[in-house]
Chain A
Amino acid sequence: MKSLEDLKKLRDEALKKMDVRHVKNGFRIQIGMGTCGIASGARNILKVFIEETSVQSLKNVTITQVGCMGECAYEPMAEIIDEDGQSFVYCNLTEAIVKEIVQKHLMDKEPIQRHLLSQRKG
């Protein structure tokens, strides 16, 4: 250990690994991981969400999983709850859509209307 700066660098590195354990109050992403969700590839979606938020270094985002969300035909689905508690349900997710959501919804705060469940179901 040479200086306080070294220590701070070490701290920031270590913090990344412990990020899951921090209580956050920002966006909450819940991914449907019932049997239906898992069968249609929700695990990969979950993985991409985690990777993307980490790449974009979004700190205040909780990513978690929930059971079946009810609309099994539209899996994989993810519900995004923003700071105000408003919920957006995205459906038929793919890796590309997830990246788009992270970019547009989480960072630019603009929900992507065409992927929302409410839009799809008409």
Chain B
Amino acid sequence: MLERIHVLICGGTGCLSSHAKDIKKQFEIELEVLGLKDEVGLIMTGCFGLCEKGPVVILYPDETFYAHVTPKDVKDICEEHILKGRIVDRLTITNPLNKTQVKNINQLVFYAKQKRIALRNCGAIDPMNIYEYIAKDGYQALGHVLMNMTPQEVVDEVTRSGLRGRGGGGFPTGKKWQFTKNTVSSQKYVICNADEGDPGAFMDRAILEGDPHSVLEAMAICGYAIGSNQGYIYVRAEYPVAVERLEIAINQARELGLLGNNLFESSFSFDIDIRLGAGAFVCGEETALIQSIEGGRGMPRLKPPFPAIKGLWGYPTNVNNVETFANVPVIFLKGATWFKSIGTEKSSGTKVFALGGKIVNTGLVEVPMGTTLREVIFDIGGGIPNKRKFKAVQTGGPSGGCITEKDLDTKIDFENLTALGSMMGSGGMIIMDEDNCMVDVARFYLDFTVDESCGKCTPCREGTKQMLDILNRIVEGYGTMKDIEELEKLAYMVKNTSLCGLGQTAPNPVLSTLKHFKDEYISHVIDKNCKAGVCRELTHFVIEDNCIGCGKCARHCPVNAITGWMKTKHVIDLDACIKCGACKIACPVHAISSQKIEQEVFL
């Protein structure tokens, strides 16, 4: 019998870690019991993007969206929805505006404002079945390119599309291909940079897990354009699911003759191998990445010569990011003009962002360039949870900077974000609310870059360490105003003199927080107070006069440091307080905050 219902289960890493595999197994068992096995197709897809609501299950043809599904709920779905056609209301999402149940995926605002190009197949197909990719016009672009276009035409088409590197730098992809093509050599290489290391960024992983074939196809197209017949995917070993699905995809493509010798009976041959990274952040830098593939220690070298001239084993090499590659097949299917029509004049196409931090809809979104940050955070992302106030958004991970409320209406593209002192980066977006201490945020990112610095050049190795020491002093309460000056001076020094991108951008979080939140630094140093209540040594929680005496804080305090009669103002015993902040979160009227210590003596 033909399948009448398809059950799509999210198989992204997020949902897998909340038992998506067990859910699939449970479906198999329940469907067997009900005798519906032949009528229902079970498909494990890539990431749907709405990770916050995971594990997610979507049923077609009704397009029903079930959130937070557990293996126990599977029985209900099978007996009610699949057998009797009744939607299981309790598993659908409630619309926060009018409290109605959202039954159809198209009613979700989260998806309505997105435009999916790089993620076009993520969550729509089974990534471990090449036929599903082929059904979505997969490998058509490669076939078309090999049969009807010369390599130069291919490069021109990419140049015309205006596609720019999605790894963060935003270098025009067509230009990069042209450089590598122009270099005369007997051997050339194509490398896909899947060493996604930014904290909070997971779009490359989602693409590799959800649609690995699109990357393989694009690499073959690139190989044809630049005259290479060997590709490498450099992927982090920390992404086991992505590695496994890539391996399956490569094998399937080889079986069907979509990788290998004489593709489409042309004279062009192309093959791809996987190289695993050992988890060094610096290997996302292309020259360090090449070193690592060669078997050396991942350390960047001086550019020029660029990899396009002298790359892997001394041969011309083209390195592109996963998301960049995922865009390429669509450009050839729909044309460069179509691609150019999306986005802004200088940045065409879309960009995938990974939303994280203090946001309602944690997950993966893809929006056209030119969308404002406000739309991404408040419309698609759903805003800040727990009625807190938005403070800043960090884009570009440890290489980027923070953007505050007043700049939220900026249209997202490479130039605009750089002008704000941040950067596009690979697309991680960490949203922070009033409970985040910006000094601590800067310290966190710097701590990361100090760990990840390869140690080759002095400014990055020593400079970032000194900066971190200063920040540690400040958050521990020993900072002086001179420290802040010193910090700024060091930041510019590291930025201007480091060898590679890691060092050149490492001070960005410090510089941008200094620019937008200097008052917080000053209150850390002069008042010895951390307003957000994050830095333990500088936190002195005080209950203010608007306390309604509900007693919630006292009940939430793990050390019973809060006392007071009902309906009267409560008091915190600062000697007993362990500064965990539980009372602050519990307070319904925001009466608890961290205050300067002198003030507390009078209270």
Contact = CB atoms under 8 A, between A and B. Distances in A.
Interface in B238-277: 256-258, 263-265
B85 interface: yes
Contacts of A65: 84-85
Interface stretch (B128-136, B202-210, B541-549): B128-136
A121 interface: no
B114 interface: no
Contacts of A50: 1-2, 4
Nearest to A55: B2
Nearest to B126: A18
Nearest to B266: A3
A24 B4 CA distance: 14
B391 to A, nearest CB: 39
Interface stretch (A4-12, A80-88, A92-100, A103-111): A4-12
Contacts of A38: 83-84
B342 interface: no
Contacts of B6: 18, 20-21
Most chain B CB within 10 A, of A11, A50, A67, is at: A11
B135 A15 contact: yes
B467 to A, nearest CB: 52
A17 B264 contact: no
A34 interface: yes
Contacts of A2: 257, 264-265
Interface string B81-106: 00111100000000000000000000
B131 A10 contact: yes
A35 B86 CA distance: 12
A18 B84 CA distance: 22
B134 A14 contact: yes
Contact of B84 (A3, A4, A8, A33): A33
A7 B134 contact: yes
A1 B256 contact: yes
Interface stretch (B55-63, B160-168, B344-352, B417-425): B55-63
Contacts of A31: 85
Given A1-B257, A4-B140, A63-B61, A18 B135 contact: yes
Contacts of A23: 63
A66 B2 contact: no
Given A21-B60, A63-B61, A11 B85 contact: no
Contact of A11 (B61, B134, B258, B265): B134
Contacts of B139: 1, 7
B264 A46 contact: no
11 contacts: A1-B258, A4-B144, A7-B140, A7-B143, A11-B135, A11-B137, A14-B134, A17-B3, A18-B132, A20-B60, A30-B85
A38 B140 CA distance: 44
A66 B85 contact: yes
A3 B134 contact: no
B41 interface: yes
B124 interface: yes
A14 B140 CA distance: 14
A40 interface: no
A119 B78 CA distance: 35
B360 interface: no
Given A11-B140, A33-B85, 8 more contacts: A1-B264, A2-B257, A3-B147, A14-B132, A18-B125, A20-B4, A33-B83, A47-B1
Nearest to A18: B135
A54 interface: yes
Contact of A4 (B8, B132, B135, B147): B147
Most chain B CB within 10 A, of A10, A18, A46, A64, is at: A18
Contact of B61 (A15, A20, A51): A20
Contacts of B4: 20, 46-47, 50, 63
B238 to A, nearest CB: 31
Nearest to A2: B265
A47 B132 CA distance: 24
Given A21-B8, A34-B84, A65-B84, A4 B60 contact: no
Interface of A: 1-4, 7-8, 10-11, 13-15, 17-18, 20-21, 23-24, 30-35, 38, 46-47, 50-51, 54, 62-67
Contacts of B85: 30-34, 64-67
A1 B140 contact: no
Nearest to A33: B85
A72 to B, nearest CB: 14
Contacts of A13: 131
A20 B63 CA distance: 10
Most chain B CB within 10 A, of A46, A65, A66, A67, is at: A65
A18 to B, nearest CB: 5
A8 B140 CA distance: 8
Nearest to B62: A64
A66 B60 CA distance: 13
Given A20-B5, A50-B2, A67 B84 contact: yes
Contacts of B256: 1
Contacts of B1: 47, 50-51
Interface in B1-24: 1-6, 8
Contacts of A64: 61-62, 85
A24 B62 CA distance: 11
A28 B595 CA distance: 63
Contacts of A14: 131-132, 134-135
B131 to A, nearest CB: 4
A47 B3 CA distance: 9
Most chain A CB within 10 A, of B61, B83, B257, is at: B61
Contacts of A35: 84
Interface in B130-162: 131-132, 134-135, 137-140, 143-144, 147
Contacts of A30: 85
Contact of A1 (B41, B62, B137, B263): B263
A4 B3 contact: no
A66 B342 CA distance: 40
Contacts of B135: 11, 14-15, 17-18
A17 B457 CA distance: 56
B132 A3 contact: no
Contacts of A51: 1-2
A40 B396 CA distance: 61
A7 B140 CA distance: 7
A20 to B, nearest CB: 5
Nearest to A13: B131
A13 to B, nearest CB: 8
